[in-house]
């Protein structure tokens, strides 16, 4: 076929608004490659969709909109590269790092970076939800991992749970499947720090409350022993707030590794009261019916009588008194109690006896029951 007979056309014959820029006939670049095909460019003052003016074009098609939800964590930034080409980056709004934002590259790497960056900064991606208030109104709610960690620490403290409860697989599975799929396990080290922060916040709020309060308080103190055979003295206050609600706060739990004398007990109670500046607000003090506590009250009464003066009440612990009464009554029937105690001990000493007891109960038409021995607790 003779190509000389084929008519030639220029790009301007099809669209007069465009001009053609091409290499001279037979011209090659330094590498010996064929010249770059002609590029259509709009004249000055005209607009063309999907093209950018300059020495090079980065996209000749229509620009797609950023519809992925991950773009709420990034800013789209256009920059000119060393070769003069215009390149689009995604700049993280948290760490300000720039990542590739090619239309053909997807957004998977952006999502992974956003999650990792948010976790590193101590926050995670939040999703707002609608919740109903008790009065029927609607409010927005968003998951905050810091708030979740603080509430977990409060739960562990109130329920006396182990510190590694937050990293328990069963607890993590329950929260993820029932409440929040984005929940991350909380280590015991993190829980320890959160407990310290919760304590510090509560301590400051209590000091602020007592510094401005106008109500009187009642103090309760007792000594407790831990499993490690360490004795602790607790100081608890009760008061009625401005809304006429009974309130209870534990102010101190001090180690008492010395003899439980009245002087030592009074010294530790006074330290806690002075720490919160409550000496001028005390109305009554309740302690066990022990001689050491009576001696401690003799020492504390001149210090705590600022508010009630001579009307300062020294209450004896009612539970302790009832316990002493019950023990005294047991002594009168101790012979019968010992017989029952020995019978129960003999019955539960071996499994064959327990099985024989169950068969006897079934034969007699009575449901089998277990017997517990008494424990000397108050």
- Cα four-point dihedral sign 30, 36, 42, 43: positive
What is the Cα 194 distance to its own chain's centre? 8
Say yes or no to pLDDT of 19 above 80.
no
Start-end of CATH 3.30.420 domains in the chain = 214-322
Alpha carbon distance 100, 89 (integer Å)? 5
Q: What is the pLDDT of residue 77?
A: 84
Specify the DSSP class assigned to residue 310: G
For 125-174, the pLDDT digits (tens) are 455 555 666 676 766 667 788 888 999 999 999 999 999 999 999 999 99
* Whether residue 25 has pLDDT greater than 60: no
Output the pLDDT for position 15. 47
| Cα 4 to Cα 288: distance, rounded to the nearest angstrom | 120
Choice between 40 and 210, residue whose per-residue pLDDT is larger: 210
Distance CA 70, CA 346 (A): 71
DSSP 42: P
Tokens of 75: 């800013």
The length of the chain, given as a count of residues: 378
pLDDT digits (tens, 9 = 90+) for 320-373: 888 888 888 888 888 888 888 888 888 888 899 989 989 999 999 888 888 877
* Topology of the domain comprising 214-322: Nucleotidyltransferase; domain 5 (3.30.420)
Model confidence at 62: pLDDT above 80: no
Supply 36's token pair.
């770059």
pLDDT value for 193: 93
Cβ neighbours, 10 Å, residue 297: 20
Q: 188 and 163 in contact (C-beta within 8 Å)?
A: yes
Alpha carbon distance 335, 190 (integer Å) = 55
Q: C-alpha distances in angstroms, 130 versus 138, 151, 278?
A: 6, 20, 44
DSSP state at residue 43: P
State the chain's mean pLDDT as an integer.
Answer: 78
């Amino acid at each position: 076929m003779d190509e000389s007979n084929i008519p030639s056309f220029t790009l301007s014959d099809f669209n007069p608004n465009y001009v053609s820029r091409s290499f001279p006939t037979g011209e090659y670049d330094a590498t010996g490659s064929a010249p770059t095909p002609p590029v259509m460019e709009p004249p000055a003052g005209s607009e063309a969709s999907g093209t950018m003016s300059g020495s090079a074009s980065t996209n000749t098609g229509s620009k797609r909109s950023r519809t992925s939800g991950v773009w709420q964590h990034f800013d789209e930034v256009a920059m000119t590269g060393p070769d003069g080409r215009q390149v689009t980056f995604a700049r993280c709004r948290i760490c300000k790092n720039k990542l590739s934002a090619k239309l053909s590259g997807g957004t998977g790497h952006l999502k992974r970076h956003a999650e990792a960056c948010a976790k590193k900064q101590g926050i995670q991606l939040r999703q707002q939800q609608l919740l109903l208030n008790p009065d029927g109104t609607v409010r927005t709610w968003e998951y905050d991992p810091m708030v979740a960690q603080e509430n977990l620490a409060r739960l562990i403290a109130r329920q006396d749970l182990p510190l590694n409860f937050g990293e328990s697989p069963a607890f993590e599975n329950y929260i993820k499947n029932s409440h929040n799929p984005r929940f991350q396990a909380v280590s015991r080290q993190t829980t320890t720090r959160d407990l310290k922060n919760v304590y510090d916040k509560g301590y400051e709020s209590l000091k602020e409350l007592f510094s401005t309060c106008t109500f009187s308080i009642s103090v309760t103190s007792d000594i407790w022993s831990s499993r490690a055979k360490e004795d602790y003295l607790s100081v608890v206050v009760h008061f009625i707030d401005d809304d006429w609600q009974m309130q209870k706060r534990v102010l101190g739990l001090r180690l008492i590794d010395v003899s439980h004398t009245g002087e030592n007990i009074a010294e530790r109670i006074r330290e806690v009261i002075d720490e919160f500046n409550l000496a001028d607000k005390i109305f009554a003090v309740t302690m066990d019916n022990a001689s050491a506590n009576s001696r401690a009250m003799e020492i504390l009464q001149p210090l705590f009588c600022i508010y009630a003066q001579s009307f300062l009440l020294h209450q004896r612990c009612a539970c302790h008194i009832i316990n002493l009464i019950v023990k005294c009554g047991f002594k009168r029937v101790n012979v019968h109690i010992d017989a029952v105690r020995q019978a129960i001990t003999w019955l539960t000493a071996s499994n064959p006896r327990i099985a024989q007891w169950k068969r006897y109960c079934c034969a007699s038409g009575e449901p089998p029951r277990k017997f517990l021995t008494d424990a000397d607790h108050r």
